[in-house]
Amino acid sequence: MTGRIDLVLTMSYRSGYGSSPKPVEMGKEYEVEITEISKRGDGIARIQGFVIFVAGAKAGQKTKIRITSVGDRFAKAEIV
């Protein structure tokens, strides 16, 4: 061991997107891939790292979604 610690840094939208423009807009449609499922059962997609919860989606699904709400840290969407 060299005693060196490697750190992996990830962008956090808690501090980065609070008041700046989000990569998604309310009512717009996007093509996404659902990469995982949340604890509540919603599909999770990301656009430019910004998290989008998609009701009724399944992991691995490629689908078109419509944004239904946009918050500071995440958005919610429905399958079109």
61 in any annotated domain = yes
24 in any annotated domain = yes
59 in any annotated domain = yes
CATH of the domain at 57: 2.40.50.140
The domain total for the chain is 1
pLDDT score for 9:
44
**pTM of the complete model beyond 0.85:** no
32 in any annotated domain = yes
59: CB partners within 8 A, 6+ apart:
34, 35, 36, 37, 43
75 in any annotated domain = yes
pLDDT tens, N- to C-terminus, the chain (80 residues): 555 655 444 444 444 555 678 999 999 999 999 999 999 999 999 999 999 999 999 999 999 999 999 999 999 999 99
70 in any annotated domain = yes
